[in-house]
With several copies, the nearest count.
Chain A
């Protein structure tokens, strides 16, 4: 059994519940890696492109599966108003071995940052895209 899933939602997520779904998939799961991004410093509003957001995230999962032997992966990205400390995004990867789980998780985050149609706005206005994110994603080319 395997599980690959993407979701865009306004509400929060529970890392424990999401991770449990991957841990229980098969006796071959030996490593689960997670990344949680959370709102730092100031509140944010997250706008997204419904439909395309899910589509890009699905495409990223397909790309990761082609590169690493994953047993499962989940991406949850929130939209709407978010307070400081609130989680924005969760990426979970499960594999037999830790290297694959680590690399796939980092790959998915780097590409989410540069491909998935989400835009952050804070009190100063729309947040500018960063060159460092482009460079991080380019590592995987």
Chain B
């Protein structure tokens, strides 16, 4: 049981991965999950220190940090978008 994490732009670069599986056995808020991820590496810690600079999408829908992440979900972490 895990959650699929995907990273974009400087979040991806600082973590050094475009994505990874993270073990998850029960639902928890995205903000709490992000706090746990900081322990994974120095890069994770740096990328995820200030959550106010990040945006997130749960199963490809933009959500807030209180969104509940469940096993099997896809959670994306990225900076505010700059396309167009």
Chain A: interface secondary structure? mixed
Whether the pair A48, B60 counts as a contact (CB closer than 8 A) is no
Interface string of A96-125 (1 = CB under 8 A from B): 000000000000010011111111110001
Q: B: which residues have CB within 8 A of A?
A: 6, 8-10, 12, 57, 60-62, 76, 78-84
Contact A119 B84 (CB under 8 A): no
Indicate if A7 sits at the interface (CB-CB under 8 A).
no
* Nearest-CB residue, chain B, relative to A113: B84
A89 touches B83 (CB 8 A): yes
What residues on B are CB-neighbors of A115 within 8 Å?
A: 62, 81
Q: Which B-chain residue is minimally distant from A129 (CB atoms)?
A: B80
Q: In the complex, how many residues of chain A place their beta carbon closer than 8 angstroms to a beta carbon of chain B?
A: 30
Q: A46-B83, A49-B78, A118-B83 are in contact. List 4 more A-B contacts (CB 8 A).
A: A49-B6, A49-B8, A52-B61, A112-B84
Q: Is A21 an interface residue (CB 8 A)?
A: no
B57 pairs with A49, CB closer than 8 A: yes
By a CB distance below 8 angstroms, the chain A residues around B61 are 52, 55
